[in-house]
Amino acid sequence: MTTWIYTSERITRKIRERYLLAILRQNIAYFDKLGPGEVTTRITSDTHLIQEGIGEKAIVVIQHVARLLSAFVIAFYKGWKMTLVVICLIPVILITSGVLGSFSSVFLKRSLSHYSDAGTIAEEVFLLLELSAAGVGAKIFGAIDRIPPIDIDSNSGDTHENVKAHIQLKMSFLFTHLVLMLKFWIIYL
């Protein structure tokens, strides 16, 4: 596990450096679309997702695949007929996971874009705070008034993610109970 975390740290550091170099090589018109805090927010959030995927989720995937394979070996050894019946539910589980995963990616993209917008506004507020001694204090409140809608939008992505997680949990319970029901029905026959 430590090796995976160390590797993810090294890879994300290299990605951050190359990401920044690629952004700095862009034409000056590219920065007209971006706010002052959007670049740093995107670099941080995107590389954090990569680091989390390599460092934590890759380990979990490897563990679950090993458990699945060992469970199939044991199940086929103990009762191959029952195992063949239970295997018919695997495509249903995979399809459900794929659909929920696609919803998750859509809401994650929305949430990340709102976080980058919020980073832009935060940079503007900090810049205006530096300039407030020069009499620009009224602009600070104008920038602060723009924050709540962006915060609500960014939290809506998290809310959708929570709903998706609950649906995924309930679906896993459903499939577990379907498998048990199928097993008991076959045993009863």
List the pLDDT tens digit at each of the 189 positions of the chain: 778 888 888 898 999 889 888 888 888 887 777 766 777 777 888 888 888 888 888 888 888 889 888 988 888 888 888 788 778 778 887 887 788 777 777 777 777 677 767 766 766 666 666 666 555 555 555 555 555 455 555 555 556 666 767 777 777 778 778 777 877 777 776
101, 135: one domain? yes
**Which of 75, 62, 155 lies closest to 114, judged by CA?**
155
Residues 6+ apart with CB under 8 A from 168: 97, 100
Residues 6+ apart with CB under 8 A from 134: none
26, 47: one domain? yes
36, 129: one domain? no
97, 158: one domain? yes
User: Could you give phi then psi for residue 7, rounded to 5 degrees?
Assistant: -65, -40
99, 144: one domain? yes
Domain end call among 27, 60, 78: 78
Q: How many CB atoms lie within 10 A of CB 47?
A: 18
Q: What's the rounded Cα separation, in Å, for the pair 11 and 13?
A: 5
Global pTM reads 0.52
Integer CA distances (angstroms), 105 to 12, 38, 112, 160, 168, in order:
20, 20, 10, 11, 14
User: Domain of 92?
Assistant: 79-189
Domain end call among 38, 62, 78: 78
141, 189: one domain? yes
71, 33: one domain? yes
Q: What is the pLDDT of residues 133-175, one digit of tens each?
A: 555 555 555 555 555 455 555 555 556 666 767 777 777 778 7
Give the CA radius of gyration of the chain: 24
Which parts of 79-175 are beta strand (E)?
Answer: none
10, 103: one domain? no
106: tokens are 């859509």
